[in-house]
Amino acid sequence: MFRGLDCRLPAGGALVLTGPNGSGKSSLLRLLATLLVPVAGRLLWGGAPVAHDPAGYRGAIHYVGHLDGVKPALTPREMLAFWAALRGAQYPGIDAALATFGLERIADWPCRWLSAGQRRRLALARLIAARAPIWLLDEPGAALDTDGEARLAAAIAAHRAAGGSIAVATHQPIALTGAMSLAIDDFAAPPAELAAL
Amino acid sequence: MHAFAALIRHDLRLAARQGGDIGLVLGFFVLAVILFPFGIGPEPELLRRVAAGIIWVAALLAAVLSLDRLFASDYGDGGLDLIALSAMPLELAVLAKSAAHWLTTGLPLVVVSPVLALFLDLDPVALPALVLGLLIGTPAMSLIGAIAAALSLGARRPGVLLTLLVLPLYLPPLIFGTAAVEASLSAEGARAHLVLLAALALAALPLAPLAAAAALRQALD
């Protein structure tokens, strides 16, 4: 989908991926999350290939994609506790996560009662429930209202102030100070090359 | 270990909240067994001879029935991404999901099987061999089933593909399981067959998670 793409994400840095639908923003994020394997190219973390310490790298990233993994039968509190436990977090900040995204009131409702925006907030709340220095966010603002967007922006600012980095794919203009912008369609692979794969 | 236990707890909680799934599998198992006397006639002699086979085949089909939701719902709602990115290797996650699957389907089948065996007039002497065989065989079926469930992700008709993939793989446990019951009624004793069944289950314990995890990585890619 893309080629010749080279970028680095410093601690506290932000990378905004832009491009039309289908240009490969989500694919790049899944690639950064090691969920996709690149046809060619390398992914380095702290100067060393990720393949040297895949478990360590997985522990350092948070990936929030289009699909939120929310189970209709469980409550937001249960979902957050499960997600934090999956990451091996010993002291998960469930209440802090619920408060950050304004979910306290619905914390013990079954998730099937949640609206699309509330589910998105819940998916984002796992960024707070268990900490990781690198956030990979795919269209995090989708379905969020203005309050939700403000809470997301505040969470991102706090994360970066604490030395965390973020890579975000988005259509909406997102207020990120000192963010690098990467227009992914500049690196689009020629159609002939795609057909050869 | 923390993540492993959390995944089992999560799956058990989901199964408990959506209680229908366990009931469905058990209901299918009981009904399938009860259908046989109607199909082949109620002669106790005949039923006694085929009882073990009927129960094993019905248990096997009931297990297949429940396999399609092993990974499919997590695959569909993005939960599988988070499991793949968790603190444990994907192989361990498969083991946790298989364990939860066995606790919610295999174990209830084992518990109900003696009642159905008596319903089919199986000699009570053979009951320990039947129950013990199922107790060893059903975990193997959950593990082997995980491979097929992972392979069928993303297929157009996953349920059908899964059934075709998994049924041939279930032949060995079926053969040793029913042979154990037969043997327990003769001087031979069930021990040899049960040991072979256990060997099968122990081989599946490390191999099935490896294979299923590889298939899951393919499905996510």
Cα(A83)–Cα(A77) distance, integer angstroms: 10
Please tell me whether residue A75 adopts helix, strand or coil conformation: coil
Contact B82 A37 (CB under 8 A): no
Averaged pLDDT for residues A13-29 = 87
Q: Work out the percent of chain A whose per-residue pLDDT is above 90.
A: 51
pLDDT digits (tens, 9 = 90+) for A29-86: 999 999 988 888 888 888 888 888 888 999 999 999 989 889 999 999 999 999 999 9
CB contact A90 to B (< 8 Å): yes
Strands A48-49 and A44-45: antiparallel
Task: Give SS3 for A63.
Answer: strand
- Select the residue from A86, A87, A91, A122 to test the B interface by mutation, using most B Cβ atoms within 10 A: A86
Say how far apart CA B6 and CA A82 lie, in whole Å. 6
H-assigned helices in chain B: 2-17, 20-40, 44-67, 72-77, 79-84, 90-101, 107-119, 127-151, 158-169, 171-184, 191-220
Q: Cα(B93)–Cα(B86) distance, rounded to whole angstroms?
A: 9
Distance of CA B101 to the CA centre of its chain: 8
Check if the beta carbon of residue A157 is closer than 8 Å to that of residue A179.
no
Least confident range from B15-19, B129-133, B147-151: namely B15-19
pLDDT per residue over A148-160, tens digit each? 999 999 999 999 9
- Alpha-carbon gap, residue B104 to B69, rounded angstroms: 12
Alpha carbon distance B9, B119 (integer Å): 34
* Residue A83 at interface with chain B, using a CB cutoff of 8 Å: yes
Mutate to test the interface with A, among B12, B74, B77, B82 (most CBs of A within 10 A): B82
- DSSP secondary structure, B125-141, as one string: GGHHHHHHHHHHHHHHH
Q: What is the pLDDT of residue A41?
A: 85
User: Is residue A165 classed as helix, strand or coil in its secondary structure?
Assistant: strand
| Residue range B15-60, pLDDT digits in tens | 998 877 788 899 999 999 999 999 998 898 899 989 999 999 999 9
Report whether A111 contacts A122 (CB < 8 A): yes
How far does A137 lie from chain B, in Å, by closest CA?
13
Encoded tokens for A133: 């220095």
For residue B197, what are the contacts with CB-CB under 8 A and spacing of at least 6? B133, B136, B137, B140, B173, B176, B177, B180
CB contact burial B17-50 (16+ within 10 A = b; e otherwise): beeebbeebbebbbebbeebbeeeeeeeeebbee
> What does the domain layout of chain B look like in residue ranges?
2-220
> Which of B71, B86, B220 is the mutation pick for testing A, counting most A CBs within 10 A?
B86
**B2–A70 CB contact, under 8 Å:** no
Compute the average pLDDT of residues B102-112. Answer: 95
Dist CA B68 CA B78 (whole Å): 16
pLDDT band at B221 (very low <50, low <70, confident <90, very high): confident
Set of chain A residues whose Cβ sits within 8 Å of the Cβ of B6: 81-82, 85-86
**Six-digit token string for B180:** 């154990």
3-class secondary structure, B151: helix
**pTM, full prediction:** 0.91
Distance between CA atoms of residues A37 and B180, nearest Å = 47
Q: Where are the domains of chain A?
A: 14-73+132-196
The string of pLDDT tens digits covering residues B62-75 is 999 889 889 998 99
List the single range of A13-27, B176-190, B197-211 with lowest mean pLDDT: A13-27
Interchain proximity B82–A74, CB inside 8 Å? no
What is the distance between the alpha carbons of residues A46 and A44, in angstroms, rounded to a whole number? 7
Comparing CB atoms, the residue among A65, A71, A85 nearest residue B14 is A71
> In this structure, which topology does domain A14-73+132-196 adopt according to CATH?
Rossmann fold (3.40.50)
49-68 in chain A: CB under 8 A from chain B: 55, 58-59, 61, 63, 65-68
For the residues B158-164, what does the mean pLDDT come to?
Answer: 89
Structure tokens at A115: 């609206």
- ipTM attached to this prediction: 0.89
CA distance A93 to A84: 9
Could you read off the pLDDT of B176-201 as tens digits, one per residue? 999 999 999 988 889 999 999 999 99
Q: Could you tell me which of B128, B156, B126, B105 has the C-alpha nearest to residue B50?
A: B126
Q: Residue A73's closest chain B neighbor by CA?
A: B17
pLDDT of B66 reads 87
Q: How far is A73 from chain B (nearest CA, A)?
A: 6
